[in-house]
Amino acid sequence: MVIPMPSSGPMPSMASLPEAQLRELMRVKFCVIALWFLALLRVGLCGDLMGSLSNFVVAMLGTFLLAEDKHLSRCHLCLAQTILGRCCGMPGLSMLMPFLMISGINSIFDLMTVGAIFSTFGRAALQTPLAWIYLAIFFCELFSAVFGYRLLKGLESAQQGDGYARLPGFSGGQGQGSRFGGSGGGGLFGAPAVQSMPGSSGGGGGGGFKAFQGAGQKLGS
């Protein structure tokens, strides 16, 4: 199941990302490539096929996330032609949220596995490739979650701009108009200002109605 990013419009492509987000995405790329190799080592050297499936899922999601990358685009095309392509949905930055969530959850379980290994064998576990592979997988998935989160926050900041939604017709209150109006004479949200009534104060000339003033007439006169 794909969890889309909260966005009101289409997700940007890699080419349109700012330099800061591109750096975070390249760091994610290195973690994804490392996870592919580490998952294969976990199967080949450790014989842990079932445990490596979660690592393959993170690497696959990262590959769909980096579908526009020149080094991972061919790998993405191979995966997209299988049933995995239908399961992952649209490639690109829309895969950032599931990649971030699953890599973060996997890093917690990998930390528990590493803790169990060292609690059982102590420092002697460092003499076996099994412990080093699990340590490398844990750090790769942890850094994938960290870099993915930083990329997500950068994308949200870029989408929200300065954090205030510009109201329709707002032009910054230039001229003599109101704060929410346009140029001089504009009303709220750029609507035309209400015209003054003839004879009222502030109108053009002529005396208007004034309370308690003027000549009256007595009854019976």
Tokens of 1: 């199941």
Give the residues of the chain that fall short of pLDDT 70.
Answer: 1-12, 14, 89, 159, 161-221
Q: What is the pLDDT of residue 139?
A: 94
pLDDT of residue 172: 43
Q: What is the pLDDT of residues 106-134, one digit of tens each?
A: 999 999 989 998 888 888 888 888 889 99
Structural domain includes residue 177 = no
d(CA 157, CA 169): 24
**Residue 123 CB burial class (10 angstroms; 0-12, 13-18, ≥19):** exposed
**C-alpha separations of 72 from 67, 76, 83 in Å:** 6, 6, 18
The tens digit of pLDDT for each residue in 17-43 reads: 788 888 888 999 999 999 999 999 988
Q: Rounded to an integer, what is the distance from CA 151 to the centroid of its chain?
A: 7
Q: Is residue 4 part of a domain?
A: no
- 45 belongs to a structural domain: yes
Q: Would 213 be classed as within a structural domain?
A: no
* pLDDT of res. 144: 93
Residue 62: give the domain boundaries.
Answer: 19-159
Residue 115 lies in a domain: yes
Total domains in the chain come to 1
Above pLDDT 70, what percent of the chain?
Answer: 65
Whether residue 47 lies inside any domain: the answer is yes
pLDDT at 46: 79
Token pair belonging to 128 = 């076996």
pLDDT at res. 194 = 46
Tell me if 95 is assigned to some domain. yes
